[in-house]
Amino acid sequence: MHIDPKVIETAAKELYIRALKILPDDVKQGFDALAARETSATAKEVLGTMIRNIAVAEETDNLLCQDTGIPIYNVTIGRGVEFGANDGVALKAAIRRGCERATREHPLRSSIVHPLTRHNAHTSCGIGVPVIHIDVADDVEGLKIEMIPKGSGSENNSWLKMAVPAEGTDAVKTFVVDCVLDAGGRTCPPTIVGVGVGGTADLCVHLAKRAAIRPLGTCCADPEGARLESELSAAVNLLGVGPQGLGGDATAFAVHVELAATHITMNPVAVNMQCHSARRASATITPEGVRYGF
């Protein structure tokens, strides 16, 4: 299968709009689970408002949240895709055009500005934005594009600590708890707390983002990582920050951990959070057509 830039462009546009309007099923189920075990009356009410908003967005065909986020497109080149020398450039250009078209044609608020002049081109695009990651996999059929409109309230709560080996795993655990405390209500809890452990500084932060956008109910592929995320999920929900930081049990849907090997002298840990409007959408493009999902 050869990549048709027109198909990519349309998918990139549709994905941005779909992601902003329809929450994935795993997040909806996450809300139900939190509401069922919440013991604070205030928090139950807040969760109820959030659940009602999901329905209102679908009924009125509107955006879940006013923040259109920083657009991120994660592209996976799977089996059966012919990817020639110029296809990468064409792919990136098509995604950028789709992102611009979503902004102009829906219309959406362009949340993207030049970092120094703060000029807004009203396209949701700028230097290096949309963020586009291209990867390969042999367990994906065709071309898969995942779109994340990453909200700034949660993105502004991102941290990296270059801990040292003598501090051990305790440093990782303490850091995560302290980040959740420092974030308070500013991240729009309940959140998915993404934790990166290992790698280099930049890889560690990237892993934290991958963890934050991973579907609820999935586990870290590494058994030690899976155990750590399960322990951390229980611990952060002991703190009582609650939905919107107004108090309650439901501080996080889950803590997700992603790992990479690291250097003998290093012990890096990064945290990146996803807000309760944990939006994502995906499209799988095969010779049969485009299939949208989460």
Residue type for 240, please? G
Decide if residue 116 touches other proteins (CB under 8 A).
no
Decide if residue 181 touches other proteins (CB under 8 A).
yes
Closest to other proteins by CB, 142 vs 153, is 153
The answer for residues whose C-beta is within 8 angstroms of residue 161's C-beta and 6 or more apart is 171, 175, 268, 269, 270
| CA neighbor of 275 nearest in space, from 249, 243, 230 | 243
Q: What tokens were used for 107?
A: 């219309």
Decide if residue 152 touches other proteins (CB under 8 A).
yes
Decide if residue 151 touches other proteins (CB under 8 A).
yes
Decide if residue 39 touches other proteins (CB under 8 A).
no
Sheet with 143-150: strands ordered across: 131-141, 70-79, 143-150, 281-286, 289-293
Q: Which of residues 40-79 bind other proteins (CB under 8 A)?
A: 42, 46, 49-50, 52-53, 56-57, 60, 62-68
| CA neighbor of 218 nearest in space, from 253, 251, 243 | 253
Of 25, 231, 292, 293, the one binding other proteins by CB under 8 A? 231
Cβ neighbours around 256 below 10 Å, total: 30
Decide if residue 242 touches other proteins (CB under 8 A).
yes
| Rounded Cα–Cα distance for residues 256 and 271 (Å) | 10
Q: Smallest gap, in angstroms, from Cβ of residue 143 to other proteins?
A: 30
Decide if residue 239 touches other proteins (CB under 8 A).
yes
Decide if residue 170 touches other proteins (CB under 8 A).
yes
> Among the candidate windows 71-79, 217-225, 262-270, 275-283, which touches other proteins by CB under 8 A?
275-283
SS3 212: helix
| Rounded Cα–Cα distance for residues 35 and 246 (Å) | 15
| Rounded Cα–Cα distance for residues 143 and 82 (Å) | 10
Q: Smallest gap, in angstroms, from Cβ of residue 160 to other proteins?
A: 20
Of 5, 35, 90, 120, the one binding other proteins by CB under 8 A? 120
Q: Where does this chain bind other proteins (CB under 8 A)?
A: 42, 46, 49-50, 52-53, 56-57, 60, 62-68, 106-111, 118, 120, 122, 151-153, 156, 170, 173-174, 177-178, 181, 184-188, 231-232, 234-236, 238-242, 244-247, 275-277
